[in-house]
Structure 1
């Protein structure tokens, strides 16, 4: 059975790699490692279909070392032992270990001494952030390289190469690919070269040649073949958390269009729970005291979204996102409580003033608890200055009001007025 086009077109040396020039281009780190034949174990991470396996294959081809491929999730410890035995005989084996973030402790413990001796050069491939999902023991013995999604130009280069390659590609077919179809294959796959190559092959093999034996691939054929959305990601994957991060940072930065873009990506991933939770966090963390009514309206929008469910939930969520983007911003509430928590963590607490201690039990008066407390509602304006903080923190200020919205401007004036009176005690 013929292997898929994406498999057949894997590069055999580092010069054939498409994209990732920040790593494999002349003078770059992986290029230099190959040229000097000074390879070290590494972890390659990034989205699917962007060249992790290709780079491993090309490194092996350029160095002439034996090359083996295993999967950390599905291959057994015995499979690793076979690779280790081969390494003892041949000297060095390059091992591409896919889904390296799923390497269990038993397999990890077996691998570590072989990595340290250099008999096995590990190239771990993963779509997950290795700093979060890979054990420190493996990380400390590898270099970590992030791969980037391929550009449409990169994918067009690879597709053109596949169409012209008579040995491994589609060069034996008489294919005419329209510029619109080429653009669709290169753009709608969202940087995934594997998907683009396999879709191209399906289009070629499923299209009936004309009377002259030519295969015409137009935009319609490309769209029918590439039955996938231009964007998708696993809501449990690392890329999903990058989108959530970008979502919050776009709202914090008041970029309405960017925030709506990331909202749409999260909706497309179907993760309504993360959207709702993140929106409430954003409302109180980034807008907060500057526009408290917007925080309340965000909670209302989230409640509506929860009751509606998708797809209708997108409407109140979009309204909330737009308001939060265009609202004045303040993180003073979060900063204030974090400053108070920092004092607690550092042991800066002190004793509760006697006037504030619980006086609702027999004997409290004899201890002097609560006897000097002044009930504010007995005074004009329902306020009277008295000490509330412990002695050692008597003049400590946690809240630093901002003036980015009319609400916090009013709170600032009131806070400073009261603070001035309390500081005189």
Structure 2
């Protein structure tokens, strides 16, 4: 079987992989003129690297183009499924015939035995490793591998990038669809370029399916309409993958948008998580926000958030989006106060630094035989025996008896009232604090 016949069995996305850096779509911050990967190739000073980013953004394409531009042997393995023996065979090849570029997919799943075997060959330059992952390598990849590689982040491709690649595939007679007489409506190519949200692999394979599954008309033309394009997008690339690295970025942006009182941004990130059916992440984050960011400025909002979360969990998606949206809007537009989290974190910080003392004897538990002999509980003043159910008494250990953790804010009526009471009590205790402290 000839090479071209073998290639015909591969998907279009495979056949259209770049053979050099000039054919790469997007990622110009890495492969454009004067950029880091192009400089490495031009200077023939390749170093091992990790490429991370969403699916279909060109990790394998860049590895293939580097190999094509440098003429080094190119081999591809999967860290999760290929054995250590497969690695040994590639190292043996490198020893016999020279440097090999090893594309290692899912590198975040590389086991320690495979890693230990690979490391010395990275250091002596026999193997140039190009690891690929959708996970954040700073979180998921072993430091021993990270320290021997450069890490490059790939960005999602734009619709314009994908359209360019689709048009090239449509006219390429060797590896693409140039042998077919295709009329592709503008609305159809726009849909193919947009529907997969930056996943070029899915867009190319959808185009191939559309062309090869649509019969030619009486004039011998394969006419691809918008409706056909919609039918052939086999995979909708989620903007938010609840199991992927981008999950943490979306959740972070969601909380920061609510904290910053940007309703529209918060609803946008809610939509990403709702579209991925990621109800647990949404509900957990909303409860955290209600107490961390709104807090004492508006405690009623926390109660409403709990009710909204309960309703969302009972009805599930898609209806859950309604109470969740109400909670998001409510939290966004509420006054904010982080005084509670700041207070407890200050207390924890003191504790962790050893800045605490012995509990005063009058506060210790007196409810056991012999406690009185130890002085435990003696001298305790029961506040309910005094006017207004309050009496001046020291509760903090001597070492930190004048320490203040709670610093009130005045961004809502409720905390304003708490602040006034707090200042009043501290003054009565003889440990007043400034109102702007």
- Given the alignment of the two structures, is residue 211 of structure 1 paired with residue 218 of structure 2, yes or no? yes
CA deviation after TM superposition for structure 1 residue 135, in Å: 0.7
Secondary structure of the residue aligned to 1:365 is coil
Partner of residue 98, structure 1: 105
Alignment equivalent of 1:266, drawn from 268, 273, 276: 273
What TM-score, normalized by structure 1, do the two folds share?
0.97
Note the alpha carbon deviations across 1:390-415, whole angstroms, 9 max, x for none.
Answer: 11101111111111111111111111
Cα distance in 1, alignment partners of residues 317 and 24 from structure 2 = 41
Partner of residue 198, structure 1: 205
Q: How is 1:60-79 mapped onto 2 (pairs within 5 angstroms)?
A: 60-79=67-86
More moved, 59-68 vs 272-281 = 272-281
CA contact (8 A) 2:108 2:135 kept: yes
Cα distance in 2, alignment partners of residues 405 and 29 from structure 1 = 51
Partner of residue 412, structure 1: 419
Alignment equivalent of 2:187, drawn from 177, 180, 183: 180
CA contact (8 A) 2:74 2:102 kept: yes
Partner of residue 138, structure 1: 145
CA contact (8 A) 1:43 1:123 kept: yes
Coordinate RMSD, CA, aligned: 1.5
CA deviation after TM superposition for structure 1 residue 101, in Å: 0.7
Moved over 4 A (4+): none
Note the alpha carbon deviations across 1:174-194, whole angstroms, 9 max, x for none.
Answer: 222121111111111100000
- Given the alignment of the two structures, is residue 318 of structure 1 paired with residue 319 of structure 2, yes or no? no
Q: How is 1:21-36 mapped onto 2 (pairs within 5 angstroms)?
A: 21-36=28-43
Alignment equivalent of 2:297, drawn from 263, 270, 290: 290
Cα distance in 1, alignment partners of residues 117 and 430 from structure 2 = 65
CA contact (8 A) 1:284 1:295 kept: yes
Alignment equivalent of 1:237, drawn from 227, 244, 253: 244
Cα distance in 2, alignment partners of residues 64 and 230 from structure 1 = 33
> Which segments of 5 or more consecutive residues in structure 2 lack a partner in the other structure?
1-7, 433-437
Note the alpha carbon deviations across 1:131-163, whole angstroms, 9 max, x for none.
Answer: 111111111111111100000111111111111
Partner of residue 393, structure 1: 400
CA deviation after TM superposition for structure 1 residue 228, in Å: 4.0
Change over 3 Å in CA distance of 1:346–1:182 after alignment to 2: same
Note the alpha carbon deviations across 1:222-281, whole angstroms, 9 max, x for none.
Answer: 111114446355422212222222221221111212222222221222222222211111
Note the alpha carbon deviations across 1:203-230, whole angstroms, 9 max, x for none.
Answer: 1111112222222212111111114446
More moved, 157-166 vs 43-52 = 157-166
Cα distance in 2, alignment partners of residues 190 and 57 from structure 1 = 23
Q: Would you say how many aligned residue pairs link Structure 1 and Structure 2?
A: 425
Cα distance in 2, alignment partners of residues 280 and 299 from structure 1 = 7
CA deviation after TM superposition for structure 1 residue 420, in Å: 1.9
What TM-score, normalized by structure 2, do the two folds share?
0.94
Note the alpha carbon deviations across 1:343-380, whole angstroms, 9 max, x for none.
Answer: 00001110111221222233333333222222111222
CA contact (8 A) 1:395 1:423 kept: no
Partner of residue 90, structure 2: 83
- Given the alignment of the two structures, is residue 171 of structure 1 paired with residue 168 of structure 2, yes or no? no
Secondary structure of the residue aligned to 1:69 is strand
Cα distance in 1, alignment partners of residues 73 and 301 from structure 2 = 61
